[in-house]
Structure 1
Amino acid sequence: MTPPPQQPYRTPGLAPGLPVDHWPAASARTGEELGAPTPVRALAVAADGAPLAVAATERGAVRVWHTGTGEPLGLPFADDGGTGSVALARVAGRPVVATASGDEGTVRLWDALDGRPLGDPLTDTGPSAGALAAAQGADGRPLLVAGCLDGTTRLWDLAAPDPGGAVLGDGGPPIAVATALAPDGRPFAVTTTPDDPADDCGTVELWDLSAPRRTGESPRRMGEPLGRGAEVHTAALAFLDGDPVVVTAGWDKAVRLWDPATARPLGAPLTATDGARALAVTHLGGRPVAVTASTAAPGAVRLYDLPTRRPLTPAPVLPHPHPIRALAAAPSSLSGAVLAAAGPYAIPLSATV
């Protein structure tokens, strides 16, 4: 990947109290040695808040870089099955990449610095690439959440992964997974499971992942399943006044906030006229913000201030005419970079100052 320009430029007046820097042009390009560059299919940031990100292309090329400098870290490597989703964790002090690859959805772990596969695959019965996310446990444990072809959602403690992991739910392989840390440090996950096997939208569930490994307790589902009838295809998690709030994007071109305790929407939808294919939640200027992007409007990104439910303008516009395939943001308890995958690039959209 090529380093970003060294001089970020400021877009004044993005929103009161939300100073944001934007980087022009390309910054992190997947450095494939042969053939034409292929689109970035998956993108993730470090679950523990470290300034690291990982991207993978449709051909399975994987690269890790430093989000502060844009410098690549370690050696590029490839998942021969092709990579559909990625996650980035830290195990025994060393960054580790998790990939879900190929139509069989094999979940593998790799050393992020030298590209070595770590141990046997966690599973070879997963879905074809749709759902994978890492989290930092309340006691510092690195966690991984993934979907499986047998219809389950599973959780692994990466410091000592058990074969098969712990089963969170068995309502079908999720089409989306996201994680976040509560203000008190507890890790949570949101999963989106299709209501019908033929659909790419469905029902959202919220999980508390904080049960310590030594107690043998299973993660708990919080509240009630939500989102039925809203055509939800992806979800993320925010915390308003310390309480969890689920943010969803649906094929009905609406972004919604939900109370997981009641499974009811909070106020009117945050409607995006061009829809929202990718969704992330982070903090900008100390405030929780939802970031959305649409493949129907290349280069267009929308930001919503979640406490007020208002869109922030002007929003960043990427300098590339490629549709945005994925968004990633630093853990929601921290202020940090927002990244977008567009064409063969992984581009920093913003970083708080």
Structure 2
Amino acid sequence: MLRRLAELRGPAVPPRPLDARALAALAANPGCRRRALLDGAGVDKGALAQALGAPAAFGRSQFAFVRGHAFESRVKADGGAELVRLLSEQLGHKPPEPDEVDVPELTAAGPEGRTARTALALRQATGAGRWALLDHPMLALTIAGTPAYLEPDAVVVGPDGGWTVVEIKSFAMIDGAADAAKVGAAARQAAVYALALRGVADRLAAGRVSEQALLVCPKDFSNLPTAALIDLRKPLATTRRQLSRLVRVEEIAAGLPEGVCFDPDRPAAELAAAVAAVPAAYAPDCLAGCELAFHCRERARQAGLVERLGRSVRAELGGLATVESVLAAAGGDGGDPDDPAVAALRRAAALRAEALGREAAPCR
């Protein structure tokens, strides 16, 4: 299977590792076999989109990266004393002294070694009765048959044996509140980390993963850190359910024609045919999190698919898969009159015509 995945991305192309952001996006759209296969095979979707002539228009600027790195370093300074203080205050505990916070060494060779070292550090910290800060631990999670190695900003182990995921973000928290969309994205990402942590806790038969994550952001318009707890119960349940629905990568790969390859150095026409061989589930939400979204949107437009109007619209239209079939049904030229979606469309067309003061006519 590993050989097959290497053939899909190109023998000379190194695999691109899955991260929590990609897994959160997969969980949000589990029906997209295209993304599941490309992410599982380690294909660089950004380079692929560039080769297809539809590069992604999003990404993190170098300035934002430097600012975020500087803020994270400040939060974790002095052995993580400030970070643990923020968490203890949120939990209603007495903040520990700097020398009461352990920072175990997590260096090891390769992701497998770092994962094992993280598990060992968690086991030792859980029974110590002290605060411990795991700075950039490595966690493993198997998704659709593909292993993913995840690196949260931090995990804090409390004296009571609780494990808390920490998300450090560079967007501001103004008057104790941050942008809801950004907080939601952080919660989904933290849920992936918490899911991986639960796997470690189950294997060790030790530790308790908190259903809350600590979100640390700059306070107001300063560079001073402030924090809030975010509830992970709903994101955890959603992420677990959606990831479990993903078809295994080998099953998708088995259905592809021989010779399919996503090497960005191949001709654009060949790449377009390879991408088209894998079914997609495009939705406007993809524009915020998938490098191939612009390519998929253009193909959806060319085919006249209703998916480009959004998941809620697609769900309401039932078996009407194209804009042309929707317009025909609304105008009385197609569709089953007993279909609730068709009946609703014709009623809407009649109301529109009545509001405009003319007889109902086909919505062309």
TM-score by length of 1: 0.29
Structure showing the higher helix proportion among its residues:
2
User: Bigger radius of gyration, 1 or 2?
Assistant: 2
Bigger proportion of residues as strand:
1
* Larger RCO: 1 or 2 (CA < 8 Å, sep 6+): 2
